[in-house]
Structure 1
């Protein structure tokens, strides 16, 4: 596990800004000039990063940090935040998420206003005061791969399978593709055998839903890990057992309120590290396609400095 040194100040250097113009289906596209102007009010140079793809965006963030940026601001949804986070996790560089996407779970769960302009004002005030506050992240590892970080939730059950199906489909476009993927995968629903090693204790479980939460929600407000706290140094692992189709569809709406954890087939574990194995599952972290299982997830306290 990476050792992280506490910093409650913002290092000197410019503010790098990563903006995803397609986030939230482009509804906040016109806000970017005003966002940049507001950030400049903190008295630091502001540099807009150029990138055409998610991979270029992540590389641009790494280059900005290596080039001496004191802060990085990500304007977009959880996917944009996830890409930017890879460059600043475990460093002293401060981070500000501006919620301008379809799903803004990390920003909202860590206390930023849901309105993007209000969030920018919070970030600007923190920059002007030189203030950054620590928050935990989860570190995701797989043999032979470079470690990744996530701030909200790792999905490794039915929702991850649906995401994988939707990403393979070329039709229909937009949200209907995800809806159709749900229908297809419901027809194929079956419990999978998972092996979980929770702080060294092994369990074999047949399950349909498996999520590892540093924070409570994913998917734009679904509280899959309702008691997860990104300041407690722990992960919440939520496991939904041998659901049939009818039971799953009855329970799934309860996830928005987090009341699904009272169902007798749901178990919640709290742990510092979880090793997660299953056949044929690709995990999704913060909504982004991640590693095939098996993976190891480790809670890293104070891994990120938030501009709050």
Structure 2
């Protein structure tokens, strides 16, 4: 079998880059041919992954965090090509929620064994179509509220570097916090509301374990949606720790929904999915059952 391995050496702050040879060795253990796909940009890696699928590779494996997995999903979604995940990022939300091992070498062993034995799992994915013509797949969560604004601000910050820029972005977004007007349509039923937090999930967590849409099941053919009423700064920050446990959904100011198709619009809001910048609203998100063939 020919395996195309997408490997991000910067994932997990670079701490797991040294494990790449061991991961490759484990994937090769049953005679597979492994080609490591790299590139100077995410766009180049994505092109190489698409080319590998077109050329008939036996499987795509992503070694990295949710961003690397997101790149791989764009190539394999809906194709039936087996996809393996070797978690090597900081959060690894999609892999964790699929029950995969946290150790990269152990995860590579699971992938290798699954490919050898023909073991596959059918996993739902979310298909996004933006009003600006953007098309993308995502596996975990789309953020279109406070957390999306934090990501957007953090991407503009040049100092400090690293995780500290997110702390600065959170503080600055709290100071700038204001409700936004949204229009949301769930399977054809439309509503309008003001909110500071909107999230759409295929699986339940983002940001390294924040269970924003607890109970989201990537095999039920539905997307889970969480909406928070307009909240003040202190209330929002008090609610945030509850998201780690998923208990925020019991707050009377938080509502949850499930739908196959979610249409979401809001002026001045940019959507992030799997932690990646996608496009400005409006977007239409559709759950596509069994779009991913997971080798696990």
TM-score category (smaller protein): over 0.9
Q: Which residue of 2 aligns with 1:169?
A: 157
Aligned with residue 104 of structure 1, among 67, 72, 92: 92
Residue 45 of structure 1 corresponds to: 33
The aligned counterpart of 2:110 is: 122
1:295 deviation in Å?
Answer: 0.2
- For the 8 Å contact 1:42–1:127, the answer to whether it is kept is no
Supply the distance in 1 between the matched residues of 2:127 and 2:204 (Cα, whole angstroms): 16
Deviation at 1:50, TM superposition (A): 2.5
Return 128-137 or 20-29, whichever deviates more: 128-137
The residue that corresponds to 2:238 in the other structure is 250
Task: Pick the aligned partner of 2:127 from 126, 139, 147.
Answer: 139
Contact 2:213 2:225 in 1 (8 A): yes
User: Alpha-carbon deviation of 1:144?
Assistant: 4.4
Secondary structure at the residue paired with 1:31?
helix
Residue pair 2:134, 2:279 contacting (<8 A) in 1 also? no
Quote the Cα distance in structure 2 between the aligned partners of 1:224 and 1:82: 19
CA contact (8 A) 1:43 1:128 kept: no
Measure the CA separation in 2 of the matches of 1:203 and 1:159: 22
Matched-pair contact (CA < 8 Å) for 1:207–1:241:
yes
TM-score of the superposed pair, with normalisation by structure 1: 0.95
> Could you tell me whether the CA contact under 8 Å between 2:131 and 2:281 is conserved in 1?
no
Match of 1:213 in 2: 201
Q: Does 1:178 align with 2:166?
A: yes
**How much does 1:244 deviate?**
0.7
The 2-side partners of 1:287 and 1:183 are apart by 19
String of CA shifts for 1:212-247, please: whole Å, max 9, x gaps. 000000011110001100010000000011111110
Q: Give 2:68's match in structure 1, choosing from 55, 80, 83.
A: 80
Provide the TM-score with structure 2 as the length reference.
0.98
Q: How does 1:1-308 map to 2 (within 5 A)?
A: 13-308=1-296
| SS of aligned partner of 1:190 | coil
SS of 2:224's partner is strand
Q: 1:27: how far off?
A: 0.5
1 CA distance for matches of 2:218 and 2:121? 12
Quick one: distance in 1 between partners of 2:171 and 2:134? 34
Q: 2-side partners of 1:42 and 1:289: how far apart?
A: 38
Unaligned runs of 5+ in 1: 1-12
CA distance in 2, matches of 1:81, 1:65: 15
